[in-house]
Each structure stands twice: as C-alpha cells, then as structure tokens.
Amino acid sequence: MNIKRISKFIVYILAVVGFFVILSDTGSILGSIVIVGILLALMAVIVKLLPKSKKVHNNVPSVSVQKEQHYQELGMDDQQIAFFRETMAHAKKQIVQLEQNMNAVAKLKAVDLRNDTVKAAKAMFKELVKEPTKLHLADRFLYNHLPNLVDLTNKYLEINAHDIKTKNTYDALEKSSNVIDEVSKLLVSDYERFMADDLDELDVEITLAKQNLSREQMNQEKMAYTEKEEN
C-alpha cells in the first residue's frame, strides 16, 4: 500500500472518530471508551502500514570515508553500495569457511593445493573490492561455485566424521572429493576469466613497449651511422 492510500485511510478513520466524538458530547463513559478503542486501533493500523526501516546487517562493517568516496567516484549510488558491501561480506564469510574446510583433512587439502582453490577465491575477492562495478562479471563465482564448494566441503567433513565407515561411505567420500575437485577448477576458471581483460591490456602494453624500443634502437643505429659517416 502506498503513502497516498495510507493518507486517505487515515483521513477516513479520523472522520469516523470525529463522528463518535460528536455522539459522545453527552460525556457518557461508553462514548469515551469507544473513542479510545478507535484511536488505539488507528495507531495499530498506522504502525503496521508504515514502511519498515531497513535492517542493519551486523555482519557488514561500517564503511570508511575513503571507501565511500571511492564508490561514489565510480558512480555507485547508496543502494548499489549497500548491495555490493552486503554481497562481499557474505562472500568473505564463505571464503573463510572454505579455507577452514580445505585445511580440515588431508584429502581436501590436496584438492586445494592442486587447484589453488582458496588462493583463487581470495584473489577474486581482492579484485572485486578494487573494482566493485565489475560485480556482475563474478556471478558464477559468487552465486554458484563458491557457495557450492562450501556446501560440498561441509557435507564431506560431515560424512568423514562418521565413527564407522563402510564401503559405501568411502565410495561417497571419493565421489564427493572428485566433485569438489571439479568445482574447484571451475572457480579458478572464474578468476582467470575475470582477469582476462587485464591480461589483454598487459599484452597490448608489452607490444607497444616493444615497438617503442625497436624504434628507439633504430634511431640510435641511424645516429651512430651518421656520426661515423661525418667522421
């Protein structure tokens, strides 16, 4: 319900209250009770219909002046800043949990060492903090591969903690570790794709630098040849 409709509703209720005020001019106790009841009901309705204030997420740290200025310089409005910071705060918790899980048992630690899973996740987080306007380019990382890895490793550790393990248990653990390994590769690919533009820019800069160096060497050779001819 929008503000205009709420205002009309309040006016209507006030008109009803006014009507009962007129009826209660005789000073009857019953009239006073009715008016008080209507006022209390009106207050309850207004409180229910008023827009609720946004919840403060305790897991999101307060933003520094420098960071807020950085976000604003990138053209981000308050809503975009809030969404970005909440998303990154949630991602940070997941990365911390993933690192703990990967270090919990030798099998998961081997997967992490083989793929640099946690290292890639931290690197992606760092790049997103530097370039918050590229958040949309990390959709698969943030909403698919990272949370899936946390869930998979949580489940792996839960099964691995069984006191008694059967053949089916070991088979399930093996299948789970294989899936974790595959999703780890996907997460690393997310980071590589995210950084592809930077690598392309680096290739361009290297090419330009080589061209400039080649021209400079040619000019030096020409100058040396000219000096030799003059002598």
pTM metric for this prediction: 0.62
Q: Which H/E stretch holds residue 121?
A: helix 117-130
Residue 62 has a pLDDT of: 76
Q: Are residues 34 and 77 in the same domain?
A: no
Q: Are residues 131 and 29 in the same domain?
A: no
Residue 4 has a pLDDT of: 54
Residue 204 has a pLDDT of: 45
- Domain presence at residue 169: yes
What residue type is assigned to position 39 of the chain?
L
Counting the structural domains of the chain, the total is 2
Residue 86 has a pLDDT of: 95
Residue 129 has a pLDDT of: 93
Residue 82 has a pLDDT of: 92
Q: Are residues 71 and 31 in the same domain?
A: no
Q: Are residues 41 and 145 in the same domain?
A: no
- Domain presence at residue 71: yes
**How many C-beta atoms lie closer than 10 Å to residue 108's C-beta?**
24
Alpha helices for the chain (secondary structure H): 3-23, 29-49, 65-73, 78-102, 106-115, 117-130, 139-140, 146-160, 167-194, 196-230
**How many C-beta atoms lie closer than 10 Å to residue 2's C-beta?**
8
Q: What residues in the chain have per-residue pLDDT under 50?
A: 1-2, 51-57, 200, 202-204
Residue 53 has a pLDDT of: 41
- Domain presence at residue 137: yes
Q: Are residues 17 and 130 in the same domain?
A: no
Residue 65 has a pLDDT of: 79
Full residue range of the structural domain in which residue 13 is found: 3-49
CA angle, residues 71, 74, 80, in degrees to nearest 5: 55
